Chain A
Amino acid sequence: MPIDDSVKGTRLPSVTMTLEAGRLASFAGATGQPDPVYRDPLAARNAGLPGLPVPPTFLFAIELEQPDPFAWLTGLGVDLRWVLHGEQAFTYHAMAYSGNTLVASPQIADVYRKKGGALQFVVKRTAVTHVDGSPVADLDSVIVVREPEVTS
């Protein structure tokens, strides 16, 4: 079913995460991060860092902490069986480290169609900040929704 254009600009619930060193180390380990400063607090300290650095893409995990992280999509009437993650972008403003608390504030930035409506696109923009509001990164996700009934 078509996603209504009026959802553009909708603010979605914010999610707060305190960055736990063990969680960051697990992410670095699971993603084959070669540099030991991402997993070993002693290596990070020896490198003069205030904690384990947050790996470049870990920031997308903050929103996944919600009990049902895709409720915002199903709330638009989207059938998750036809959803693809089309594009992902990060624009970085500042570093974050274990011990920091970050806030992810997502918003539906755009909705558009291609191929006569057979493909619908939802752009979600998420501002990630420290708790004092200072910016860490902005994330853009492009979600592609296939409409199996529409012949292109």
Chain B
Amino acid sequence: MSVLSEVRVGTELPPLRLPAISRTTLALFAGASGDHNPIHIDLDVARSAGLDDVFAHGMLSMAYLGGLLTGWAPQERIRSLRVRFAAVTPVHGEPTCTGRVVALAGTVATVELAVTLADGTVTLTGEATVDLAPES
């Protein structure tokens, strides 16, 4: 876990590398999240929409960013998490989550976040605020 005294502007969070997203991953996420939009799980529907294949839920990648943050700070210290969905994540994409502290205001760190695929495509950008104050 991070300690406030070790964090400064420029600190990089340890990257979180996820396995390649399989059709099973998408089916399990659909079930666990309740997002059953068939564009993410049904090849026939994806084809009928003019796509070659299904693509991953954007909220799957946002959940990965949640895992990046909880690997760095206890969840009760996360104050906010915000993302913009910049590009589609294809099935079989291999995401890596990264974060960098870009501001420190008192004990609150602002962390710039990204999810990037193996081919360099940035699929999500965003930021989180994390209060690193030790427990009182």
Q: Could you list which residues of chain A lie within 8 angstroms of chain B, going by C-beta atoms? A: 23, 26-27, 29-35, 38, 53, 55-58, 60-61, 64-65, 69, 81, 84-92, 95, 140
Question: Binding site of A, secondary structure by majority: helix, strand, loop or mixed?
Answer: mixed
Minimum distance in angstroms from A31 CB to a CB of chain B: 4
- Tell me whether A64 and B33 are in contact in the complex, defined as CB-CB below 8 angstroms, given that A32-B19, A57-B59, A88-B82 are known contacts: yes
We find that the number of chain B residues with CB closer than 8 angstroms to chain A is: 34
In the complex, the answer to whether B33 meets A85 with C-beta atoms within 8 Å is no
Q: Could you list which residues of chain B lie within 8 angstroms of chain A, going by C-beta atoms? A: 16, 18-19, 25, 28-29, 31-35, 49, 58-60, 62-67, 69-71, 75-76, 78-85
Minimum distance in angstroms from B80 CB to a CB of chain A: 5
Listed A/B pairs (23) with beta-carbon separation below 8 Å: A29-B28, A30-B33, A30-B60, A31-B63, A31-B67, A32-B18, A33-B63, A33-B66, A35-B67, A57-B59, A57-B62, A57-B66, A58-B33, A58-B63, A60-B59, A61-B32, A61-B34, A64-B34, A85-B85, A87-B83, A89-B81, A91-B80, A95-B76
| Partner pick for A86 among B18, B34, B62, B85, CB 8 A cutoff | B85
Minimum distance in angstroms from B109 CB to a CB of chain A: 15
Minimum distance in angstroms from B6 CB to a CB of chain A: 20
Minimum distance in angstroms from B111 CB to a CB of chain A: 13
In the complex, the answer to whether B81 meets A90 with C-beta atoms within 8 Å is yes
- Look across to chain A and name the residue whose beta carbon is closest to the beta carbon of B33: A61
Minimum distance in angstroms from A73 CB to a CB of chain B: 12
What residues of chain B lie closer than 8 Å to A60, measured between beta carbons? 33, 59
Question: Binding site of B, secondary structure by majority: helix, strand, loop or mixed?
Answer: helix
In the complex, the answer to whether A31 meets B64 with C-beta atoms within 8 Å is yes
- Tell me whether A95 and B85 are in contact in the complex, defined as CB-CB below 8 angstroms, given that A31-B29, A56-B70 are known contacts: no
- Tell me whether A23 and B32 are in contact in the complex, defined as CB-CB below 8 angstroms, given that A57-B62, A92-B80 are known contacts: yes
Q: How far is the CA of A57 from the CA of B34 in the complex (A)?
A: 13
Q: How far is the CA of A35 from the CA of B71 in the complex (A)?
A: 7
What residues of chain B lie closer than 8 Å to A140, measured between beta carbons? 82
| Partner pick for A34 among B29, B71, B84, CB 8 A cutoff | B71
| Partner pick for A55 among B60, B63, B76, B84, CB 8 A cutoff | B63
- Tell me whether A26 and B58 are in contact in the complex, defined as CB-CB below 8 angstroms, given that A56-B75, A57-B81, A88-B83 are known contacts: no
| Partner pick for B78 among A29, A30, A56, CB 8 A cutoff | A56
In the complex, the answer to whether A30 meets B80 with C-beta atoms within 8 Å is no
What residues of chain A lie closer than 8 Å to B63, measured between beta carbons? 27, 31, 33, 55-58
What residues of chain B lie closer than 8 Å to A81, measured between beta carbons? 49
In the complex, the answer to whether B85 meets A87 with C-beta atoms within 8 Å is yes
